[in-house]
Structures are given as C-alpha cells and as structure tokens.
Structure 1
Amino acid sequence: MSLLFKNLRIHQVFGANTDVGKTIFTTALVRASASIQDAVFYLKPVSTGPMQDADDEHIKQFAGKHRGKVQASCLFRYSDPVSPHLAARLDAQRKGQEVSVPSDQSFVNSVAKHVQSCASRLSSYAHMYVETAGGIHSPTLSGTTQVDSYRPLFLPTILIGDSKLGGISSTISSYESLLLRGYIVDCIMLFRDEYYRNWEYLIPYFAEKGIHVATVDPPPPRLDDVRHNWASTENYYDTIVPSSRDGSIFDTVTHLDTCHTRRLDDLHSMPRRTLESIWWPFVQHGLVKEEKDVAVIDSASGDFFSIYKGHSMQPESIPSSPSTDSMLELQFDGSASWWTQTLGHSNASLALAAAKAAGRYGHVMFPRATHLPALHLAERLVHHGPGKGWATRAYFSDDGSTAMEVAIKMALRAYSVRNGGRLDSAMRKNLGILGLKGSYHGDTIGAMDACEEGVYTCEWHDAKGYWFDPPSIGIRNGEVHITLPSAVAAETTSGSEDIQAQSLSWAYNVAERLKTPLADVYRTFIRRTLQRLRESGQPPLAALIIEPLVMGAGGMIFVDPLFQRVIIDVAREDSTADRPNHSAEWSGLPVIFDEVFVGLYRLGMESCGPLLGVNPDISVNAKILTGGVVPLAVTLASDSIFQAFLSENKTEALLHGHSYTAHAVGCEVANETLRIVESIKQSDDWNVARQAWDASCTSEDPAAIWSLWEPEFVHRLSTQPSVKEVMSLGTVLVIKFEDGRGYTSDAAERLLLPIKDCIPRGADGAQNQPFGIHFRTLGNVAYFMTSLNTSLETVRRIQDRLSEALGPS
C-alpha cells in the first residue's frame, strides 16, 4: 500500500530517540511549507498522554500566520502517557475485554486511508508530514516496532537525530535500522547543541553517504507561565522559519521537494531506459514494444509489489494537472517471484541475518574450510530436514540449475564406479537419464540435457535418456480424476484414459494404492518399456530424475504419485550390476529428487519422500531455502553416493564448484528462514487450512495433503465452463483452461487479464486496501502461489477476484 502522489509530497518523521525534537522540527517544516504551498497536512497517527500535550495540538497552536492552510489530525488517541502498545492495552481493558487492540494491518490501513483522503481534497501542490511516536523502534499499538509497522506504507523519511549525550550512536544506529528495511532516508535533522556538538561529527559522516543534514539552534527552555511560554516558543519558530524564507528549514523543504521530483522522474523514465538496456529472461522482446507494458516495481512488502502506474496514464494527465490518485498501486505477487518467496518481501529478520553474515564474513573461501552459517545449515538439512534418515552430506551451490548439474555429476559418477567393468569411455560419455516428459531442471546446458527437447532447450542441447509420458491428477467438475497416457490406458482392463479417484486424499495415499491393479499396470508398462530400450541398444540409463508430485516449468503437471513411486521401485531393480554390499546403498539406478520447486513446504510438506514412501539417493533444494533474499542451493547425497568420489586420487574428487560456494550470507539467511518456517508450521492459519481439507490432518503428518486455498473454492473453480481442470497443494493453485495449444496458448493470460487491475477503491471492503494480482502463465495454464505466511484473509480476497473474473459457474 505504498503511497506516492504527483502533487502531494509526503514525508514521514522518525526520531533517533524520544525527546529529540520531532514535533519541533515537524512544526518548523509545516510552517515553512505553509508559507509556500496552498495546503499542508500533518498527521500524528498515535498520540498518548494529556490532550494539552498532544503533538497535533502543538502544530495547530504554532502553525504561524498561515495556520489556515494547515490541517492537523490524529487517528488513535490515548490518555495514558505511556508507550502506544501499553496505552492501547490499558484503554482496551477500561472499555472491556471485547475491545481489541488494532492490528498492524488495520493500523496501517487507517493511516493509508487518511493520506488518500487528504490527497483527494487537493486542488494544487501540497506537502504532508506524518510524525511517529518516540524512537524508531518504539512499539506501535500491536507491539510491533514502528520501523516495521509503518514499512508497508514506504513513505520517504526524515530522521530527527539525537543532539544529546550518546546521540551520535543512536542517530547512526537509527539510520542503519531504516536502511536495513529499505526506507528512503531523504534528510537528517538535529539541533545544533553547543555542548555535545554532535552535529559536527554527523554532518560530514552523512555527507559521505550523500545524505542531506540540516541543523538549527535548540528551542528555549519551557516556561511555567503559559502566555510567556507561548510567546517564547512563537519567537523561536519565527527565528528558525523567518518570513524571508531563507535558512536551514527552507533549504530542507526545497531539498525534500527535489527528492520527490527526482523519484517521480526516475520512475517515469524507467520503462524507456529498461527497454533500451535490459534483456529479460523468458520474454520475447518483439512483443513488448510499449512503455506501458513494463511493470515498474518501486518497492515490495509482504506479499505485494508496489507498482508505478504513472507511465501507463494518458500523457495529458501527467504534466501539470493535480492528481488525487496514488501513482503506485498494490499488486499481489502471484508467482511468489518465480517461486522464491517464503516469508514475503522485505522481511526484517532475513535482512538482519544477511547483514549479520555480511558484516562478520562477507564471502570466504570454502574448500577445506568451514564457518558456522554453512555448518549449521548443513547439519539442519542433513539430520533434521529433508535429508533426515538417508542423507549424510550437503553440497552447496548457487541456484537450482547448478545444484542439479552437481546432482547429475554425482549420479553419473556413482553409476560409472558401480558399473565400471561394463562401460568403455564412449559409453560413459553417452550415459542417459530416465525421467518424465515435461521435466525441467534448469537452464544450464547439462540440466537441459537431462530433459527431452522442448521450448526451453537450445542449439547445444543433446537430450540423453528416455522420458515416460506420466499420468496426472486434476480436479474436474468437482471430482478428482487420474488421466492416463494412451499407451498406459491401453494396458488397463477398461482401456479408458480417465479414472475417477475416490478422493484427493485417496489419490495421494501411495501405500494403499500400491495394492491396486493400476500399480501393476504401471509396473508392467515401465518394465516392458525399459527392457525394450535395453534390447534396442540405446546407451545405458544411469540415473532416474523426477520432480516429485508437481512438474513446475513443464506446465504445472500434478503427476500421479503412484506412477512416480512405481518408476522409482522399478529403477532400483538391479538386474545388470552386482548387488551392493550394504542395504543402505543404492541399487539399479541412483534416484535424484529435484525438489527445487516443491520442497521445503511449498506443497505443505518438507519433502515429498514421506508421501511417496521412499527416499532419494540425491536431492536438490533451492528457491524457498533463502526466503527469496539471496541465491543459494544445496544438493544432499547419501553416503553411498559420497563414497563413489572418495579416494586418495585428487582427480577422482567432485571437481565442481563456484566462487561463492557456501556463501555465508546465503547460509545465514537460510538458517533464519528455516527457523521461522518451523513456527509457521504451527500457526493458526495453517491449522485452519489443514482442518478445512481434512479434519484429521495435523502438523505432525509429514505426508498430509492440504492447501492454503479453500477446498470449496477449488472445487467450485473446477466447474467453470472455461476451466479444464484445477489442482491445489500447499501454497500452489493451478488452473488449466480449455485450449489445446499448450505453451503457445494465450487463453490463461486473456481470461484472467481483469485481475491484474486494482479494484476501484471502496469496492473491496472498508478495512482493506485494494490490489491487483501479478501472475505468470504457462500457455493455457495459470498458476498462483502464496508465501508460506500469507494470511488466509489475503487468500480469500484473491479467490474472490478469480471467481469474479471467471464468472459464475
């Protein structure tokens, strides 16, 4: 809900501490603005203490001769002169237990609505100042510190420095706290105290960082006599805000105006500059020719982008006419920023974790070395996370594609060592991969070669292996269906390509379904196909790679888990090599789980192994691992895979790596991400969602089938005439539309185009800010996913938008 208006320049005033002069400086800025502009708005969101001491009353009293232009307001007022979080609790207790303390969301919504109301009354250019309470980390009504509570508004900031003893430290610390959360700090102001002289240090300190610093003499002591005190204070303001309109305060007002103009100019020019200099991934530039088609993301917070829309407005509305609409609008990040978001954008805990590691290590060499962030992460993933019970080693790399290259190298070496006597050098170079059609493991060449040729491959692509056309699961007309490839359907008694499942939970009960005739059909079909490949003289298949449960980039295909379990079982049937010496060692083909997309609770479960009833020999995790803050990936391996590289010969080691292996910043962020995820698993929203899908579903079940998307909504969506089928697990919702052109289809984009727009104000509930929905499509498939901590309220609002766009069933 970040706010930016062409004709209303807004700045938020934070203090480095309590009693640093926030109200004095804000009053001076208000007076200076009022002498220049036709209107000035002042907002004190929270006020505590007696009315006569209220800051908004001080503004009204000392607004000067232009006070008629000044509109001062307060939203939440409490009589107790204590911290806002305590004052709100005491007030609620006095009024009765049924009165609750405003949440962060309702608090920020109230501020946003007031700002928008002020903007709607504009007839010309105006200024606005929003003054916080206490220091930057003083609590707001809910107890959240101000610097975090106000962050969704993303208002440019004025920091009032501390001119007293210890003020140098508190000012710099406050500035750094603001920077860690992404705030734009346009100015620092403080008193020119002649005893401590903090300003002498802080002016050059911040000048090196390009930050404007303004100083004024401190106010006179407060006098007991009310009239004398008023006269003394009024004279002080006349001195620092003279009628001649010169001096530090007026220079600051001019500087703030310049900052506002510069920000608007940057945002407005970014589309043109981007089209001239950037080459996007997965974008046909020949189809993006107009500036209005470029999404300019000014900031992001929680589940939302803040999108600049000024460049898409009609040109005649830009130059000079007053604009009462924000130049920014909210868009829900419907793809979780290419599946990376875990805890939403600009998460303060993750930013602090990154800063901690950057400050302690930067980046340090990793071969034959170790550091705590990497060691803690490896131990967590191997012993307590997705590798629990089977993995013994964690290999770090930079992204999912690279981690898959590592996994393939591991598997091919292990196979070659096990079958060394049967493989000549030519055969080793042509070892193949067994997988599924629609697989995608990344865009590096080796990862491409592990998939059949498709839209993502390139000139050097050399597909090596064989890929089964997999059965899939989808919900159609409220019923769960298993769709069989024609070759598999021909092996069944009925010959039908469509099987209606008893329920979603039954479809994912692999242990029970292994006893069904369909499991025998799968097993026979896979064995016969592999036998035919061997007899045809095709180069040996050396590893099985699967994306468990959902194949993401290949079209969000929800693969029948029974088929994946059976293909793993068949791949591990060892008919060509000596049996391993120990039962813990792999047999047949080493099995790789590519869990870059599905792993770490994207589907509501940490790993898909417990649901499939088998563990891999190698697995890959990325994406969610670092919460969308920095790239990092990990390849987990069993001991028998590790042993294939263990010798006293250097050349037999895993000679792979990159400069930023086990990057300390990434490892520390991953540790913090996983720590927070552990608490989300027990959250009320997750418990409510689990219960909605299955009353017996608990957080203790590692293979539970549930979703943050409501079951009634998913089933209702599946009955829409334009919808072919729907599926949902965990955070993921996938809609497949009736259009046979696949990846080249524009059906999903065309049918859902209305949801990109922001709902007109007021149409989406009095307490909620409107938002559009940013989403990605894969031809005739549209997918949506949330962060792990997206609120159920937000999910419901997205469901409503989707229902509205697709019409009644």
Structure 2
Amino acid sequence: MLFGSSEGNCTSIEDCFIINSSRPLNAMAPVGAGLWRTLRAHQVYGANTDVGKTIVSTVLCNAIQRQKQRAAFLKPVSTGPLGDADDRHMKKYGAGTLTKCLYQFDEPVSPHIAAKQKTKTVPRDDALLAAIHKTLSQWARTELDFALVETAGGVHSPGPNGNSQADLYRPLRLPIVLVADSRLGGISSSISAYESLLVRGYDVQSVLLFRDDYYQNHDYLGGFFRKKSIPLVSLPAPPVKPSQSDADSLARDEEAMFSYYRQASQEDSVAQLLEEMKIKNVERIDRLAEMSSRAQDLIWYPFTQHHGMRPKDITVIDSAHDDFFQTYGTSPVDAAASELRPTFDGSASWWTQGLGHGNPDLSLSAAYAAGRYGHVMFAGAVHEPALTLADTLLKTLDNPRFAKVFYTDNGSTGMEVALKMGLRVACDRYGWDASKEQISILGLKGSYHGDTIGVMDCSDPSVYNQKVEWYRGRGHWFDFPLVKMVDGRWKVEVPAGLRQALGSDSEFESLGTIFDLDSRANSETSQLYKEYIRQTIQDLVKKQGMKFGALILEPVILGAGGMLFCDPLFQRCLTDVVRDHPDLFTSDAVAQTSDGSWSGLPVIFDEVFTGLYRLGRPTSASFLGVDPDIAVNAKLLTGGLIPLCTTVASQEIFETFLSPEKSDALLHGHSYTAHPVGCTVAVESIKTMNAMNENGTFDQYKTKWNKGAGAFPGKTGPEVWSVWSPDLLHDLSCAESVEGVFAIGTVLSVSLKDTQGGGYTSNAAKGLQQQLSAGSHKFNVHSRVLGNVLYLMSSVTSKTESLQELERLLRTALV
C-alpha cells in the first residue's frame, strides 16, 4: 500500500490518506532551487545504504533543538513497515523536531521496486519535487530555523520511478550533508558518492560519519575532505541493536539511544559544524545579492550597450537545470519566499541548449574525457573522440559530397575556415589572384556569420559591423521573400521593391506546402526567382566587374539578422542558379570542364544556428533539398555544454589544398583544436538527438502539425513541425500588435508592429519581453529580442507542461 501525506506526519494509517489510483497526477510547474534566508535547508545523502543517515540527522536536529532553535525533518520517500519508518524514529528521538513523510511504501525494498507493484499510484518525479519545495516553503514561513531532507539508501539509489536520486533531486540543489561510510570499503564508496554529487553540480557542505578505531575511515576521509575545504565530523558509534526483541531488551535499547543522542548532540564539533552551516547559508545569499553590482563594475558584456545599465538589469544565475535558470530575486511581498526562482531559458542560452542544462549524461562524458585526456595537441595526431565524432557527424549529415571534418572552437571561426576553403578553391579554378583583386561572396540581406573580421565582411552593412573600423562588406546580398503567418494564414511576402521582378505575395494552406519544393520547382514563382537571380548576378559580373568566390547561406532562417524566415524556394533557386550557370562567373573554359563536386561557386551553408535538430531535422539543408559543398555546425553540436565547431567539406575542396608547399595548406588552427572533452560530449549529444528522432520522441508534435498546419498534402516526405502548437501561431498572428509569426522545430518568432519601421534598433518588443520577465506564479522567462522581434527557443527535451505555460503567458500578453 502507498500512503501519502500533504499535512502532518506519515506515521500511521490514520495520519495518511491513500492516493486514489484512478486520479491522474496533475502536471507540476518546475520548482525553484531551495534557498531561504529564514530556513537553513539541507539534503542528507548517504555514501551507501545502512550508513546511519537517520541517526546523523537525529543528532543534528537534537543539537539544533538544544540551541533553542527549531528543527524539521522531511522524508520524501520511505519504504518498509510504518513502525520502522525513519520519520517515526526522528519523532521519537528528535527532541521535538517537526517530522513529515510524503510517500510511504509498505514494502521493505527499494522505492522503485515497491512502486513497480503500485504503478497506478507512483508519484511523478515533478510531483515529488513540488511537494518537497512546497513543504520547505511552508516551513520557511514559520518559526523553523533548520530542516533536513533525507534521501533513501545511497546517492544513486533509485527513486520511485527508477531514476537515480542524484538526478531526481537535482532541481532543488539543496546543500548536501553527506553521511560517509565507516565500514570496510567505506573510503571508496564515500569518495565515489562525493564525486557523483560534485559532477552533478551539488555543493557538499559537510561530511559526517561514525568513528571506528579499527578501520579509521574518519581519519583518512578527514584528510581527503580537508583538502576540499569541506568539514568532516566524526560521531561516536551508536549503540548496537539488541539481538532479542523482548520488552526489556527494547526498553534498554530505547534508553541507550536517548542517552546516545544526548551525548552526541552536545559534542563541540557538532555545534561548530551547525554554526558553519548557518554562516554558509548567509554567505551564499549575500554573494548572490551583490553579484549584479560587482558584475557591472568588472564585466564588459557582449552585444550590450552599457549606457544607462543598472545592476537590476543583470540576471543573477545561481545554477541551471533542464530548461531553467535558477535566478536570484527576493519577493517584495514575502520575506520568507525562496531566494531563487525558476526562469525559463527562452533564448536557449544563445541557441546552444539542446539537451537541457545540467544534463548528467553530457556531464559524465565531459568528465570521462577530461580524466582520460585533458587536452592533447591535434596537428598530426588523432584521438578516439575526434575520430568518432567525425564519423558520427558525416553519417548524421548524410551529404554524399562531404568527406572531411575540420575542427574549430566556435561558429565564427568555423565560418572563417569555410570562407578560406571556398575562396581558395574558386581562385584556384578560375585563376584569380586574391592579393591583386577583390573576391566577393554572394549571400542574403540580414546574414550574420560571426564577429571575426573575415566573416564580418560576408554580411551586408548592419548595426553589427558598420562601426567596425576594418569592415569592408565584400559581397552582394539579395533581398528575399519572407515566410510568416499573418491573420491566421501562411504567407510568402515579397519585398515591395522586388514585386515587379518576383511577383506578388502568396498564401499557402500550410507550412508544409511552402516546403513542398518538388511541387513548387516548376511554378511561375520559381521561374521568376531564377531569372531575377541570374540577371542580377550577370549584371554584377559583366557590368560591374565583380568576382564571386562563394555562395554563403543560413538555410531557412537568418538568425541574428532578426529571425528572418526566407522562402525556401528562393534559397533553392539561388543555389540552383549558381550551380547550373558557371558561365556567369567567368568566360574561361575551365569553368565548364570540372568533373568534381562543385560547379559555379562552392556553396557554403552556415548551420551554426539552424543545424542538428534546431529546426526539427538533422540538417536545415534537407529542407531545401540541397547538398552544400561546405557546412558549419556549432551551437547544438555539444548539446549546450561546451564550445566546439566543425567545418565539413568535400574531397575535391580538400584536395585543392594539397601541394608540396607548406604555404598551400589550410594554415588555420587553435591550441584547443578538436579538444577531446568537446568531441566526446558532441558524440553523446548527436547520438542522443538521433535516437530521439528515431524512437518517436517528436511524434506528439508531428501529429499536431500534420493535422493541417504543417502537413505535406498527399506527400510522404519528412514532416515540417514545431514544438510550439499550431493553435498558438494562429492566435498570435491575429493579435492587433503582431506583424507576423512563425514556428519551426524549437524556434518561435513573433514580429511586433512598429510605426518607426522595425529593425535591430527598434524597441517594439521590449514591452513583451518585460511581461515575460514578470512571468507567472509558476515561472518567469528570460528572453532576448532582435529589434521588433521577440523569439523563444526550447530544447529538444523541453517538457510539454513548460511549453504550455509559455504559450499561456504569450496569449495573456498579446491576444
């Protein structure tokens, strides 16, 4: 039988209510991490089972009570008969400690085994966390001073749903009291438990264990933890349980335990430890309180105008887990509220988050590689992570042109490499000398490929580069039709200045039909696009004498330029024209005789933002039906954990750099090229996302969109879908203040009307950003704006409940 208690102590059947197995558990809001100024709350973990967690907890609570303070003890999950329950032991020996049990399974086995027999009544992990946080919050509003939340078994003992407790309780991130193991083998298990908690981002603040003069684990571990600046307290061993169960034996045992707790709770080391725990709680809050002011004094922020900036404008992040930051901010109306609040990471931390903050699988992969390699130099060498990643990436991208993987550290430098590759092969084929003549690129208006000087010149003049002294803007950038939903209808809007050349705006019945390029390829619109592109390039080359060395595109969405959703047909036509008409770029016969992988110009796809499932597919190139000659991936490459970038190219492009001369090589690199930690994490990230794509994780979203908003009518190709609901797009697109919206994959973009014309310097989206920042009682939202555009981005692992709450906030603000 499973008992649950929402109030009081789960110490008898009468004190508990039986959870109704026919009632579905409601979805819970994300919980904030636990940090209160009025309540010092800690979580008790054991290095193993049967190490005396409850005895240690009882000693600490007795000591608190002796200091004329009030203590509380919370057992989230307990198994076994009620008479042996840990909370009942605390109630008996805890000197007045308030006790509570949330879920009690009567089977004396691990919670996941007990729960397996009661599958209809197993508490969800988020429900369990919410109940813990609610209980602690209620205690913080009383006169309680100190609380312990005790786990079951060891650090990795499973919770009711089979998840390791170290992961289950991680969102709370309470400071840890680790009960070490004083038995044979306890040194190893205690250090292992500590490292397991450390790699998950816990703060182990204190260690306690029983003294044993034979094994002397307390002596060895004391030295170990002293080096970590973590205090260790050794307690006298508790009385041995009587072998007999008669009344006299039980009475003597009871008296012995009372005597033990009286003596142990009065030890000076215990009192000193509790004082240190108190000081650490205050110091942690004080550090958080002053961080924004110190940051303003010391830090120069990226993409930020500091003029008029105040400390309150800076978000203080204590930790992050899943899709949420834990941000500091006291409640003006509730002095006992938690100092930390869950804040949805609405920009996916500048588009990097794919598998959630604090992902334990990625963290362990990073720790393994750090321990195995640290970093090793890469030129002329190879290590397994780099080789495995290259192989995994090439298979995932599934582009028959690709053969070689070049490693860099971020998207901007990866694009620098791509640019060097593209310009070199074009100059080599066409016989150009870049030292004597200007070689330019073709692209789209609003493109952005990074802040390094070379790729900065690959973008048209904008707020990002116009005041950079070395900027020259070496290229031509096409204006293009935009995809958006307006008043409930999908539209392809043609810029006013191009309507004579490209035709009028078009409406489509679904987003899927916009991407049905096989059907659209023979349309009149396609012919207009191609003729406009061909004629423009011809005039630039023949009449203005321009030379072009590469076509560079951000497939589908131009991110930093303002979340510009380009008509995929236009990008397809641009690529086709460049490849099908090499005669546009030179009259030299050599241009017509290549039997290699590229024609006209090398095609470079910047998939730093849009690649690797950001838009719902392994590559954004697949939406266009184009295999580029060079592609760059970063952002989601490592799931949001560590910087890494790859530039992938064809064999023919690679061979252009082959020569007896060292100076003909691709002389580009970084000290941390292909660092093993990044490569190992990237392999784990890609494999995880590929598995999600194959095992049906995204089917719930595909089903919603295939009912009309995203289907390919009559087609069987890959779906176009989003984690954001079609109904939300329809409602927002009809809002009076909204100019247009779109969603694809994990991306949602809302363009707001601006009488001043919009653009990056617009403030039209600030009001919406502020409303999301205020949030609801469940959580608030950290978001970024690009002028009059506010965008939101989820991870591929985002929970449906969180997305639904975000959609509610958007509707409240706009509809």
For normalisation by structure 2, the TM-score amounts to 0.92
- Taking the TM superposition and a 5 Å limit, the aligned residue runs for 1:433-448 are 433-448=441-456
From 151, 165, 179, the counterpart of 2:198: 179
String of CA shifts for 1:333-355, please: whole Å, max 9, x gaps.
Answer: 00100000011100000000000
Tell me which residue corresponds to 1:568: 575
Q: Which amino acid aligns with 1:397?
A: T
Tell me which residue corresponds to 2:500: 490
Tell me which residue corresponds to 2:472: 462
Q: Which amino acid aligns with 1:338?
A: W
String of CA shifts for 1:347-400, please: whole Å, max 9, x gaps.
Answer: 000000000000000000101110000000001112x11153220000000000
Distance 2:68 2:461 in 1: 64
Tell me which residue corresponds to 2:323: 303
CA contact (8 A) 2:427 2:434 kept: no
Distance 2:68 2:550 in 1: 72
Tell me which residue corresponds to 1:375: 387
CA contact (8 A) 2:513 2:712 kept: no
Give the CA deviation at 1:703: 4.3
- Is the aligned partner of 1:471 residue 2:481? yes
- Taking the TM superposition and a 5 Å limit, the aligned residue runs for 1:473-552 are 473-492=483-502, 496=504, 498-552=505-559
CA contact (8 A) 1:6 1:264 kept: yes
String of CA shifts for 1:699-743, please: whole Å, max 9, x gaps.
Answer: x97742110111111111110000010000000000000012321
Give the CA deviation at 1:87: 1.0
Give the CA deviation at 1:688: 0.9
- Is the aligned partner of 1:328 residue 2:340? yes
Q: CA 1:281/1:701 → structure 2, altered by over 3 Å: closer, same or farther?
A: farther
Give the CA deviation at 1:487: 3.6
| DSSP 3-state at the match of 2:109 | coil
Q: Which amino acid aligns with 2:313?
A: D
From 120, 133, 144, the counterpart of 2:152: 133
Distance 2:68 2:596 in 1: 77
Tell me which residue corresponds to 1:619: 631
Give the CA deviation at 1:35: 1.9
Give the CA deviation at 1:582: 5.6
Distance 2:506 2:282 in 1: 62
Tell me which residue corresponds to 2:314: 294
Tell me which residue corresponds to 1:157: 176
Distance 1:773 1:702 in 2: 35
5+ long unaligned stretches in structure 2: 1-31
Distance 1:552 1:37 in 2: 59
- Is the aligned partner of 1:717 residue 2:732? yes
Q: CA 1:51/1:563 → structure 2, altered by over 3 Å: closer, same or farther?
A: same
- Is the aligned partner of 1:746 residue 2:766? no
Distance 1:424 1:743 in 2: 33
Q: CA 1:666/1:325 → structure 2, altered by over 3 Å: closer, same or farther?
A: same
CA contact (8 A) 1:329 1:758 kept: no
CA contact (8 A) 1:606 1:702 kept: no
Tell me which residue corresponds to 2:773: 756
Tell me which residue corresponds to 1:414: 425
Q: Which amino acid aligns with 1:426?
A: K
Give the CA deviation at 1:589: 0.6
Give the CA deviation at 1:488: 2.6
| DSSP 3-state at the match of 1:491 | helix
Distance 2:424 2:130 in 1: 57
Q: CA 1:100/1:684 → structure 2, altered by over 3 Å: closer, same or farther?
A: farther
Tell me which residue corresponds to 2:621: 609
Give the CA deviation at 1:323: 2.7
Give the CA deviation at 1:781: 0.1
Tell me which residue corresponds to 1:57: 88
CA contact (8 A) 2:582 2:591 kept: yes
Q: CA 1:697/1:8 → structure 2, altered by over 3 Å: closer, same or farther?
A: farther
Once structures 1 and 2 are overlaid, which stretch shifts more, 502-511 or 659-668? 502-511
Tell me which residue corresponds to 2:375: 363
CA contact (8 A) 1:441 1:450 kept: yes
| DSSP 3-state at the match of 1:634 | strand
Distance 1:37 1:724 in 2: 62
CA contact (8 A) 1:738 1:780 kept: yes
Q: Which amino acid aligns with 1:801?
A: L
Q: CA 1:377/1:515 → structure 2, altered by over 3 Å: closer, same or farther?
A: same
Distance 2:656 2:596 in 1: 14
- Is the aligned partner of 1:142 residue 2:153? no
String of CA shifts for 1:212-251, please: whole Å, max 9, x gaps.
Answer: 1111111110124111111001111111112xxx522111
CA contact (8 A) 2:775 2:809 kept: no
Distance 1:19 1:162 in 2: 9
- Taking the TM superposition and a 5 Å limit, the aligned residue runs for 1:132-281 are 132-223=151-242, 224=244, 225-242=249-266, 246-281=267-302
Tell me which residue corresponds to 1:405: 416
Once structures 1 and 2 are overlaid, which stretch shifts more, 529-538 or 186-195? 529-538
Distance 2:490 2:288 in 1: 47
Tell me which residue corresponds to 1:766: none
| DSSP 3-state at the match of 1:255 | helix
Q: Which amino acid aligns with 1:772?
A: N
Distance 1:461 1:658 in 2: 24
Tell me which residue corresponds to 1:96: none
Distance 1:35 1:477 in 2: 68
Distance 2:562 2:413 in 1: 21
CA contact (8 A) 1:5 1:323 kept: no
Give the CA deviation at 1:82: 0.2
Tell me which residue corresponds to 2:9: none
| DSSP 3-state at the match of 2:118 | helix
| DSSP 3-state at the match of 2:765 | helix
Q: CA 1:241/1:423 → structure 2, altered by over 3 Å: closer, same or farther?
A: closer
From 773, 781, 800, the counterpart of 2:789: 781
String of CA shifts for 1:91-139, please: whole Å, max 9, x gaps.
Answer: 34xxxxxx2422221221121122122223x24x611100000000000
Q: Which amino acid aligns with 1:789?
A: T
Give the CA deviation at 1:566: 0.7
Give the CA deviation at 1:697: 7.6
Distance 1:79 1:100 in 2: 13
5+ long unaligned stretches in structure 1: 93-98, 761-769
Tell me which residue corresponds to 1:794: 802
| DSSP 3-state at the match of 1:747 | coil
| DSSP 3-state at the match of 2:436 | helix
| DSSP 3-state at the match of 2:307 | helix
CA contact (8 A) 2:769 2:784 kept: no
Distance 2:727 2:677 in 1: 42
Distance 1:684 1:179 in 2: 33
| DSSP 3-state at the match of 2:397 | coil
Q: Which amino acid aligns with 1:237?
A: Y
Report how many residues are paired.
Answer: 766
Distance 1:802 1:560 in 2: 26
CA contact (8 A) 1:435 1:545 kept: yes
From 128, 137, 141, the counterpart of 1:107: 128
CA contact (8 A) 2:555 2:571 kept: yes
Give the CA deviation at 1:684: 5.1
Give the CA deviation at 1:583: 4.2
- Is the aligned partner of 1:587 residue 2:627? no
| DSSP 3-state at the match of 1:425 | coil
| DSSP 3-state at the match of 1:269 | helix
String of CA shifts for 1:161-207, please: whole Å, max 9, x gaps.
Answer: 00000000000000000000000110011111111101111111111
Tell me which residue corresponds to 1:90: 117
Q: CA 1:367/1:701 → structure 2, altered by over 3 Å: closer, same or farther?
A: farther
Distance 1:612 1:17 in 2: 55
Distance 1:260 1:90 in 2: 40
Distance 2:309 2:697 in 1: 40
| DSSP 3-state at the match of 1:742 | coil
